[in-house]
Structure formats: C-alpha cells, structure tokens
Structure 1
C-alpha cells in the first residue's frame, strides 16, 4: 500500500494522492500531451492562482520540504512533490494551502531532494596557457585556475550576439570563468538567480564562438520554446549527452538556496557540473540545465526567455 506522506489536513475525499519512492517517481509518462489541455478555462485559472499562491509562500521561505510543483493541464491537477518525513509545521501548512482546491491537487513523495548541478572540483591540472581559442557549447568551464573551484558547463554561444551562457547560480557563485585549459573565458555581465537561473558571459577578445554543441549531431541554428512531450537532449561537462522527454512546463523548484520559477522538467539524466549545459531538440536550442535529483533524473532546465 502507498505510504502516507503527511498527516491529512483535509478529509480523505479531498486528497488526490500518489506516493512514489525514488527516481521512478520522476520518470513519468505524458499521456495525451499532443491532445492539448483537458482543463476548462475556469479550472486552469483556479490552478494557476493556486500555484501562484504556493510560489509566493515558497519565496517567503515557508515551503518546508516541498521540492517542486506545477500545473498539469492534461490531468487537470496541481502536482506537488515533497520529501518523506515531512510532518513539520511549515511543510504541513504549505501542503494545506495546496489542498485548498479539493480534488485538484496531487501529492507525490520522492526520496531524493532536488539540487543545483554546480560542482566543487579541483581546477584543471597541467594546463598550458594558450590564450583565447574556440569555445564549444557543452564545454566545461571553471571559476578559477588553482585549488578547489566551481565547475559548470558552457551553454549556447550567441544566444545574445557575441556572448555565451551558463546557469544563473554559476554566475551567482563567481563572476570570472575559465576554460579547461586555464585560459580566461570572460566575465558574467548579466544574470539572474534565484527567481530564474541564467547567466550571460561576455568573452575576452579573441574567442571564437561557433554555433555547435559537443556530441550533437547538428549545429544549433535557432532557439525555441519547449513543448510538453517534446524529445530533448542535454550536454553536461560531467554526464556528457543525455536524452529524454519534456514532462512538465512552468515548474517552480524549491532549491535549498532559493526558489526558481518557470523551469522545464525532463526525464533526462545528469549530475553535478552539468549546470548551464545546453538542452536542445535537433538544431533548436531550448534551455540551460539548472538542477535535478541526485540520482540523475528528473532534470530541470531554464528556458531561453532572457
């Protein structure tokens, strides 16, 4: 039998409840994604309002052990994911607010917390400085040249002309970045984290910024918006190339150091160091890797809307 997530805050008839343990909870199907929303306009408006209320509570620091939530238009539900052992007051209050629309909320329990995919790692050793060269999408980038430094992944070149991209929490962690050879790449000149999760890096003079991604079959020729059920691939400096499917849109993620709205969830895998890596469908760039479960799936990515 499913294990109860927390003490009921409403009568049992008001709970639309699913308990799932471990990574399998993240690898969800997207039935009927091609058919469009099944909710009526009034139901969608109610769910969107309920999600906005949860977003505001989370940004005030009162989400407790809730991990992420989103409106599922196919199921006509607000989906809320929580960690086990969540009977603390903040989590109960948060879930109680989610259950304000009886029959329209689904709770799912997962064993692993979600986190950002930035890594703390030794700087690349034994490099020979050669100055600016060619920077490919999906390449490892480092916040320093000696000792323990942050490692992230380069995203898309020329999303903003003459610049490159990575995750916002990478730009929050350090303002100057280097390639794996210890050559200075450039400086973060625009970023947002938390709230959203993107950074723009302006390279020093001399870097070549081709429109490719390591491991991709085709160059990136344009940028677009992810769709529910769409096949996607991502490239991280730790995990290499991993592919999957978009399973949710407009997801709010409750990272330990801040709340991020508007992310896309996929069932592709990943690991620490992949933050900022490009997510794409064929030759179309769709987003930048933000974070995910420690087991590798799900993955959340920031849309290209900045």
Structure 2
C-alpha cells in the first residue's frame, strides 16, 4: 500500500492538500463565553458575573410569557442590570401590575413594540434614501425609539426625514461602518500562501481553528473559502506530528459546526474519544462528507520516509484537498485529516491526527455547542445527580450519589430545555418557585417547571423560579436535591461529564 500526500508543489507523502483553484460555498448558520471573558469584557467581579448569569437564565422565559399575554400592548423587554431582572415596556397601569406579578419591572413607554417595528419597516422601505453615510437602523426597546447609526448626523437625519418619521421616534447616533464577518466551520476550504488548498478542522475559542501541520508552516498566511484574508499559522508541526493552529483575524467567527455537505451542519458538543470499531465521519472540501469505522489507534505512518506518530486509522476515504478537515463521531470531535491511500471511487484507508493532542499542544479549547447528547451531571464531592434505585417513575425525587455509570445517572439533553432520564423530565415539584422545592422526575409536559439552563458558571437554573438545583444541607451520598436561591456555593455547581 502506497501512502501519498500532496501539497501545492511537492509530493511529500500523502496529506490531501492541493493547489488552489476555486473556492467552495459559503458556510451556513449558530459558545457562550466563559465566565472569565464576562468578567473581562463587562467589568464584573466573579460574584457579579455568577449572579448575573443566574438572573439572566430566567429572563427569556418571563419575556416569552409576557409577550404572549400583552399581545399588541407589549412594549419590549430588556435585562435591567441595576434591578437584576427583566424590565418590560407597558402602556398602562393595568399591564404594569401584570408585569410585576410575573416578576418583571414595568416601565411606562409611549410606543408598543409593534408600533416600533412598523416604524422600522418604514425605514426598511426607504432604504434607497439611506446612502453610504447611513450604516444601520434598529429598534431600541430600552429607549422606546428607532436608532439610526450614520457616519454623520446630517446623513442620518436626512434618511429619517425621507422616511417620514419624526425625531421623537427615530434618533440618530454617529458610528463607524460595519464590516462583513465570516464563520469558521469544520470541513470548509481555506487557502495557504495563495496556492495550496486544505480543509478546516475544528474551531477553537482562542481564535481560529486546528488543522493539519503539513498544510502550512508557522507564519504562513491563509485565505478563507471566499478568498478573503483569514489568518496566519500560529503553530505547525510536521513530520513527527501532523497538526497546526491557524489564528484568524477579527472578520472570522469560530462556530461549533462541521459542514455535512448536504446543506446543513453537524454540531460539535465535545471531544470525547471514540473507541476502536466505532463509526466515524469526516468532512473535507474535495469529497465532502464520508464515513467509515475506526480500525486502530497510535499508528505510525511513513509519508515517503517522514514519520508521523500517534495517528488513528479508519476505513473512511479521502482525497487531495481534504487535508486538515474534521473527523467527528456523533457530536464528539475526533481529529483532523492527515493522509491515506486509495480514493473515494475505489475505497481507501485514511489517518487522522487526534484533536485532543492538538488542543493540549497549543493550550486551546474547542468551540462547542454545549448541548445535545447524553451525559452525567457531576457536582458536589464529584458525585452525580441520580435516580434512586433506577426507579424511573413520576414523582421520584432525585438525589446525589456516587458516580457509577448506570442509567440512573445518564441524562439526555434533547435541545428543548429539558433534561431527561427514563423517558421522564427533571422537574421542580408542583411548579413551585419557593426555596426547598423538591427536584424530581415527572412526566414531560412542556411546562416551565421542566426547563433548566446549565450556565457558563456551572449553575443549573430553573428559569421560572430563577433558582438553582442545590444539594440539601451540603450532604453526601443519598442527599435529596432541592431548588434554592443561587448562592455560588459548591453544592450548586454542576458539569456534564
């Protein structure tokens, strides 16, 4: 079996990089930032960031309820930092009472959100009058106005007047013109040194993406799928290893996606390593989405005498240009394409560089969706949320128990805000909003008592009550769970694992 790798001009051995020709289609559609970033960018202390995240977790639920109840009288909603709760625009005193009863803070406004939306639609219809001096326009619910951003006040006011709006409804602010931003997505094409094509592996939160080392050396510039300036190789290792990190510029946004080449994306939820024999799929700019099984790990490959160690061997095919592309099993990132033999017509053997080694080498963290799949919920004393005796029945109170890998501790996250086990939903007993209410299993009904948000700070919050899942009395194995005011204590911290 001959193993080959093609780069732009020289046959090195086989890593599926090809000379640049034409770009591929633009990426399609949507991690929450870490708490350290919240503290840095919003000027918050650690307790302030934690409390704010807990409060914000419930704001969207309250907004949805009040939007439905107020209908055309709804005056918009926004999170009030000083109040620590949702502020809601109202047109009369009766609606203000309704907002207070729902836990919001009412604010008297002159225009409903519907009226503001109609005013914005008027501007949309007058877009030809905007000219290059007008950059954006939007509804600002906090000021109950339309905000027009322009290069200068004269341009903005001229646009507002042409649309027939008054200064009380639409106000002008001065700002810079926005620039296009592009998504970083696994499997998409990128160009190295203007003449070599490879594929993106996985987005990383540190800015950029991981890919194959043979695609480019440290310092090599890159262009995106659209030939727009993208970034520079911040690090690269080949041979010995076959990995690299491309640090991208501000026009490119890391996304937790891999292109499935069927018009959609596969979400990346983590990087748990799959076992030998597991099914696996890869994405690349030349042959798209291809699947196979894992045959062996820790494989040493000779690319025309250049050794690369620690690769994983698979039955999935690949061809030149697929180098560096993403390998994923379910929703778990596995690695980036290194090289192989054969092709996607007759079949082949392909090798990938495991992604966790790349992340560790450069101190990177994977950009993930944080949702989907099944996992344990681990918390106080490294114990798990557990269904007692695996007795999955309606009304079964949940407890803390030693993590043991049984179905009693396997929780499914279907993406609708619920957390499920044994076909039932995690639930706050009787929909209570009081401290001490039991956390239990119940028949899934879609009510707010069964909605939970695991925040970046590790709080598991029920938005209806704005309270956290709590280990009663800081107890150990067998301690029942309750909801309680979010305090930031270790008995309220949870992680998926």
TM-score bracket for this pair, using the shorter chain length: 0.5 to 0.7
Instruction: Find the aligned partners of 2:234 and 2:218 in 1 and give their Cα distance.
Output: 13
Partner of 1:47: none
Is the CA contact (8 Å cut-off) linking 2:325 and 2:337 kept in structure 1?
Answer: yes
What's the offset of the Cα at 1:276? 0.4
Contact 1:132-1:184 within 8 A present in 2 as well: no
- Tell me the distance in 2 between the aligned counterparts of 1:231 and 1:138: 18
The CA deviation at 1:163 is 2.4
How much does 1:179 deviate?
A: 1.0
* Residue pairs, 1:11-90, within 5 angstroms: none
User: Which residue of the partner structure matches residue 253 of structure 1?
Assistant: 301
SS across alignment from 1:136:
strand
Q: Any idea what the Cα deviations from partners look like across 1:87-145, whole Å, max 9, x if unmatched?
A: xxxxxxxxxxxxxxxxxxxxxxxxxx9622111232549x9xx7541121110001245
Listed one character per residue, the Cα deviations across residues 244-294 of structure 1 (whole Å, up to 9, x for unaligned) are 000011111100262100000000011000000000101100000001014
- Quick check: 2:232–2:247 contact (8 Å CA) kept in 1? yes
Whether the 8 Å contact between 2:311 and 2:352 is mirrored in structure 1 is yes
- Report 1:73-222 matches (<5 A): 115-122=14-21, 124=23, 132-145=181-194, 149-158=195-204, 161-172=206-217, 175-215=220-260, 218-222=266-270
Looking at structure 2, the residues matched to 117 and 171 of structure 1 have their Cα atoms a distance apart, in angstroms, of 12
CA distance in 2 between partners of 1:131 and 1:178 (Å): 15
CA distance in 2, matches of 1:188, 1:219: 25
Name the structure with the higher helix share.
2
CA contact (8 A) 1:144 1:182 kept: no
> 1:136 touches 1:212 (CA, 8 Å); kept in 2?
yes
> 338, 341, 349: which is aligned to 1:298?
349
Offset of residue 295 of structure 1: 2.7
CA contact (8 A) 2:277 2:294 kept: yes
Matches of 2:20 and 2:197, distance apart in 1: 6
Once the two structures are TM-superposed, the CA of residue 166 in structure 1 deviates from its matched residue by 1.1
- Give the CA RMSD over aligned residues: 2.7
Determine if contact 2:15/2:337 at 8 Å carries over to the other structure: no
Structure 1 residue ranges without an equivalent (≥5): 1-21, 23-64, 69-112
How many residue pairs get matched? 191
Runs of 4+ aligned residues of structure 1 deviating over 3 Å after TM superposition are: none
Mapped to 2, the partners of 1:132 and 1:143 lie a distance apart of: 20
Q: Is the 8 A contact 2:218 2:233 kept in 1?
A: no
Conserved in 1, the CA contact under 8 Å of 2:269 and 2:331? yes
Give unpaired runs (5+ residues) of structure 2. 5-11, 27-178, 359-497
What residue number does 1:109 align with? none
